[in-house]
Amino acid sequence: MSKMIHLCLAKMSETGMEQKYIQEAFDTQWVAPLGPNVNAFEKDLEQFVCEGKRVVALSNGTAAVHLALIACGVGPGDEVIVQSFTFCASSHPVTYLGATPVFVDSEPETWNIDPDLLEEAIKDRIAKTGKKPKAIVPVALYGMPYDLDRIMDIANRYEIPVIEDAAEGFGSRYKGQVLGTAGRYGVLSFNGNKMITTSGGGALICKDKTDWDKIMWLATQARESYPYYQHETIGYNYRMSNICAGIGRGQMTVLNAHIAHHHHVQALYEQLLADVPGITVHTQPDTLCHFEQASCHFEQPTCHVERSRDISEISPCASLSRDDKGNMVSRNDMGNSRDDKPIYDSNYWLTTITLDPSLKVKGQENAYKQIITSAVGGAAGVIHTASTAVTDCQPNDNVEAMRLALLAAGIESRPLWKPMHKQPVYRHSPAYVNGVSEGLFKVGMCLPTGPCVTDEQVAYIVNAIKDNIL
């Protein structure tokens, strides 16, 4: 890999557990899309998310969204409500099924689906089409929890299943509950840039054995119970490979350390950017409340636990830890009553900042003068040449100038997700908007936060940002 400081590069455990589990797969000839690593990885995930949930490991997070939609009965002509401010993997599977995503804008606190607008959309869709949307897909953007209580309340009142897209929010919690465990289904992703990786992979959290059986069956070509191949339903080849699951098992040994590290980097950015005028670091809402942590016994599957350095010195709210009974507890100690904990407990997958439109950045007069020749994220070297240097909805000139300046300094940064309701491919989809996601898209950017990012690099990045402000 290059010298570039990336947003979130995968980092393997220092104990080499990933390779040990892969070696085991080779030694036992389990080189297949099933096997002992897949089963054990699922058990690890079930222990981590607790709440008595069952998990199916899949080839990627997009497949998890796809199967959850199928299991919710989504088909041609149906509508599914999707948070507009997201990566395309939340909504594309809706279109795979011949259904239509109905996009709902965000609220400014969490940047996630606005509950008021959600209810308005449900009512309006029922009035306009005579049918209820088949599912609701809230998304934990950049790891930030959505307003789970209100979303579940609305969904329950209208009896619409919720598919939690926690692909970016693995390990984030709402009132102590791991995201993905409150809705009918919860989506996780283990792509190379997520909280933990299996190189590529995903999982679907299911509420019970019945749902789990159905997802497992759909993920393995929906084979009927006969000695020969009998097919009565269309299925998919979406199960995770035993090799990838070996990586996943190793990564579970550093999941808590990764989450702690992301918190640490976020706290460092907050501290170092605190007095830079015109730049705001996005933080979780600081609302606290008293809640009982679910008694959850995640046996971290190794004796060696990596620890992020100096967390306590920098952040008053550092990491997931264990209480004297060995239970996992959320971050707390924010100076309030001992029992009060943050309602929104983000894993801070990526640190995001916003740039005031009046902030002057070096070179902003030249932003967007050139057609970019590679897709964002450099998807496997795919080049699908853009026809114009600009679109009718893009980040402000100062944001693009900052991105280019950081790139020249060897720092990868990215605009926020462009809202789906502003994507040309979704121009015919209904959208319920309030301007929040579009406004954020124009002023926001993501900074390197991953497990490989060091304190020195954060200081270097912050200095590069300051150096480019006029």
Ligand X SMILES: *Cc1c(COP(=O)(O)O)cnc(C)c1O
Interface contacts to ligand X, rule CB under 6 A: 60-62, 86-87, 89-90, 139, 165, 167-168, 189, 191, 202
Q: Measured from the CB atom, is 35 or 202 closer to ligand X?
A: 202
- CA geometry: angle at 352 spanning 346 and 357, to 5°? 140
DSSP annotation of 359 reads: -
Q: How far is the CB of 224 from ligand X (least distance, A)?
A: 28
The amino acid that residue 304 corresponds to is H
Q: How far is the CB of 391 from ligand X (least distance, A)?
A: 21
Q: Measured from the CB atom, is 9 or 288 closer to ligand X?
A: 9
Q: How far is the CB of 249 from ligand X (least distance, A)?
A: 18
The amino acid that residue 165 corresponds to is D
Biggest CA-to-CA distance, the chain: 72
**H/E segment holding residue 322:** strand 321-322
The amino acid that residue 392 corresponds to is D
Q: How far is the CB of 350 from ligand X (least distance, A)?
A: 10
Q: Measured from the CB atom, is 318 or 451 closer to ligand X?
A: 451
Spatial distance between the Cα atoms of 346 and 169, rounded to a whole number of angstroms = 7
Spatial contact of 438 and 432, defined as CB atoms under 8 Å apart: no
Q: Measured from the CB atom, is 317 or 447 closer to ligand X?
A: 447
Contacts with 439 (C-beta within 8 Å, 6 or more apart), sequence order: none
DSSP annotation of 5 reads: B
Q: How far is the CB of 60 from ligand X (least distance, A)?
A: 4
Q: Measured from the CB atom, is 61 or 315 closer to ligand X?
A: 61
Q: Measured from the CB atom, is 90 or 315 closer to ligand X?
A: 90
Q: Measured from the CB atom, is 60 or 266 closer to ligand X?
A: 60
Residue facing ligand X at closest CB distance:
61
Q: Measured from the CB atom, is 198 or 256 closer to ligand X?
A: 198
| CA torsion through residues 12, 17, 20, 26, sign | negative
Q: How far is the CB of 10 from ligand X (least distance, A)?
A: 13
Q: How far is the CB of 157 from ligand X (least distance, A)?
A: 26
First to last CA, the chain: 33
Spatial distance between the Cα atoms of 73 and 116, rounded to a whole number of angstroms = 25
Q: Measured from the CB atom, is 328 or 420 closer to ligand X?
A: 420
DSSP annotation of 144 reads: P
Q: How far is the CB of 164 from ligand X (least distance, A)?
A: 11
Q: Measured from the CB atom, is 139 or 443 closer to ligand X?
A: 139
405: helix, strand or coil: helix
C-alpha to C-alpha distances, 153 to 90, 158, 386, 433, 467, nearest whole angstrom: 21, 9, 43, 21, 47
- CA geometry: angle at 222 spanning 219 and 226, to 5°? 135
Q: How far is the CB of 144 from ligand X (least distance, A)?
A: 11
Backbone torsions φ then ψ of 73, nearest 5 degrees? 80, 20
Q: How far is the CB of 8 from ligand X (least distance, A)?
A: 11
CB burial of residue 57 (10 Å; 0-12, 13-18, 19+): buried
Spatial distance between the Cα atoms of 35 and 21, rounded to a whole number of angstroms = 12
